[in-house]
Amino acid sequence: MRPPSADPALSSATPSAPASAPSLLTTRSEEIFAAAQTLMPGGVSSPVRAFKSVGGQPIVFDRVKGAYAWDVDGNRYIDYVGSWGPAICGHSHPEVIAALHQALEKGTSFGAPCVLENELAELVIAAVPSVEMVRFVNSGTEACMAVLRLMRAFTGREKVIKFEGCYHGHADMFLVKAGSGVATLGLPDSPGVPRAVTAGTLTAPYNCLESVKQLFANNPGEIAGVILEPVVGNAGFITPEPGFLEGLRELTKENGALLVFDEVMTGFRISYGGAQARFGVTPDLTTMGKVIGGGLPVGAYGGRADIMAMVAPAGPMYQAGTLSGNPLAMTAGIKTLQLLSQPGTYERLETITKRLIDGVRAAAAEAGIPFCGGSISAMFGFFLCEGPVHNFEQAKAADTVRFGRLHRGMLERGVYLAPSAFEAGFTSLAHSDADIDATIDAFRDVFLSLA
Ligand SMILES: *Cc1c(COP(=O)(O)O)cnc(C)c1O
C-alpha cells in the first residue's frame, strides 16, 4: 500500500495482519476547531462537517489539489468527499484555476448581465434533457426553494410530495425526513419550521410507488408535484428500482402535477446529462448545484420553457439574487463542464468507482463485516448491514457505531470519507488507479481491525 499519509509505518500493514491504528497527529486541527467552537455554532459553517455522527474532531483543511486534501498539520488524505460533489475534475484543476485567474482580472461581481451566463446556460441546456431554460442562483438550497415556489405558481396547488431521506436543502418546507444532516444529528424536524408550512409536505418511502399513488388519491387536485433525488445521496447511496422513476413520471402526468428531479448531487455526476439522461426519464423541472459551479457557489433550476416563463421578470413568480450569475462562479462552471464533456470522461469515472466499491465489498467480505454498496458513475456508497437497502428505513439498519470507527481508521490511513454513514461518496478524474488501490488496502486493514 502506498502510504497516503506522512507515516511511513503504514506501508508495512498487510491484509493478513491488521495493523494497530497508525497515529495521526492533528494538534493544529484541534486548536483551530477549539477556537472555532467559540466563534461559530458548533465550530462549523455547515453541520455535517463537525464529525458529530462519527465522533472525534473534524480535520481542518489547509489546501486541496487533484484527488488530495492536506490538513493544517500537513497530513495528506485521498479525498472521497470532493467538497461534497463539485470537485469531479479533481480539486483545483489547472484549467479551472487558469480560467478563474483570467476572469478575476475583469472583476469579481457585476450585478448586471454578462455573456458568461449565456455560455453556462447553453452548456446546461444542451446537456440536461428537461432543461429548455435555466435560472442561476447561488446554492442548491436556493434552487430547491425557488423550484418549490415555481411548482406551486405553475399548478396553482400548494402540496408537494417528497421522499423520506431525500435532502433538498434547508428551506422550511423540505425539512421533513430530510436525510443525512438532519438524521445523523437526530433532529426529527427542525425547531423554527412552522407546522403550517410543513403541513403541505407529504412524504413517502423512497422506491414506493404505491404510497405516492395513495397520496394523490387522498389529496385530489391539491398536489403541485413530486420532488426527489433520482439517485439518493443524502441517505447513503440508494438507487431507484427499475420502474420507479418511470412510474413517478406517469403518476404526475395523470394527476396534472409536476415531476422535479433534484439533481444538485447527480447532475453532471452520474452522467453528463445527469440521472435523467442516464435513466431516460425526463422530469418537468430540474434543480442543479455542486458540479455546475466547479467549486464556486452556484445553483440552478430549469426545465420546460412554458413553466420557466412564470419566473420573474418574464412572469409573475418572484425570485432574485444579488450575486446570481456571478462571473467567477460562471467561469468555474463553464470550464468544469467543458472538461467533463470530453470523450471518455464518464467511462473512466464509472470504471474506477466500480473498481473501488467492488474492492471495498471484497475487503468487507474477507473480514466478515456485513456490507452492501454500489456505485453509478462517479458516485458510490455503502451501508454496514446486509442489505439490500431500497429506502431510508432500511438504511437505518446500518451499523453507525462501526461506521464511526471505520471513518476514524480510514482517516488514520490517509483516506477522507464523508463523516456520516448516510452520505454518498464521490470520485473524480484525478483519482489514479494507485489511489483506488491504496484506498481498498486501507479499507481492508480497517475492516480486519473491526471484525
Ligand atoms: C447538496 C444538496 C442540496 C443543497 O445544496 P446546497 O448547495 O448545499 O444548498 C440540495 N439537494 C441535494 C440533492 C443535495 O445533494
Query: Which residues, at least 6 apart from 341, have a Cβ–Cβ distance to it below 8 Å?
Result: 123, 127, 272
pLDDT value at residue 21 = 62
Bridge partners of residue 64, in order along the sequence: 69
Q: Is the pLDDT of residue 359 over 50?
A: yes
What is d(CA 259, CA 248) in angstroms, rounded to the nearest whole number? 7
Q: Is the pLDDT of residue 2 over 50?
A: no
Q: Is the pLDDT of residue 417 over 90?
A: yes
Instruction: For residue 273, report the distance from its CA to the centre of ligand 1, in Å.
Output: 18
Q: List pLDDT tens digits, range 186-245.
A: 444 688 888 888 888 999 999 999 999 999 999 999 999 999 999 999 999 999 999 999
What is d(CA 443, CA 356) in angstroms, rounded to the nearest whole number? 10
Using the Cα atoms of residue 157, residue 159, residue 163 and residue 166 in order, give the sign of their dihedral: positive
Q: Is the pLDDT of residue 271 over 90?
A: yes
Q: List pLDDT tens digits, range 137-195.
A: 999 999 999 999 999 999 999 999 999 999 999 998 888 877 666 554 444 468 888 88
Q: Name the pLDDT band for 3 (thresholds 50, 70, 90).
A: very low
Distance, C-alpha 111 to centroid of its chain? 28
Q: Mark out the alpha helices in 136-199 (DSSP H runs).
A: 140-155, 180-185, 195-198
Q: Which residue has the cell 442548491?
A: 140
State which ligand 1 atom lies nearest to the alpha carbon of 263.
13
Query: Which residues, at least 6 apart from 69, have a Cβ–Cβ distance to it below 8 Å?
Result: 61, 63, 76, 77, 79, 91, 416
Following DSSP, what letter does each residue of 182-249 receive, concatenated? HHHHT-SB-TTS-HHHHTTEEEE-TT-HHHHHHHHHHSTTTEEEEEE-SSB-SSS-BPPPTTHHHHHH
pTM: 0.93
Site residues for ligand 1, CB cut-off 6 Å: 139-141, 144, 167-169, 229, 233-234, 262, 264-265, 289, 299
The mean per-residue pLDDT over the stretch 398-427 comes to: 97
CB contact at 8 A, 169 and 139: yes
State which ligand 1 atom lies nearest to the alpha carbon of 265.
15
Report in angstroms the alpha-carbon separations of 4 from 42, 81, 108, 349, 376.
29, 16, 36, 21, 25
What is d(CA 332, CA 238) in angstroms, rounded to the nearest whole number? 29
Is 167 in the active site? yes
Report in angstroms the alpha-carbon separations of 318 from 101, 155, 390.
34, 16, 37
Joined grid coordinates for residue 441: 488496502
Q: Is the pLDDT of residue 1 over 90?
A: no
pLDDT value at residue 195 = 80
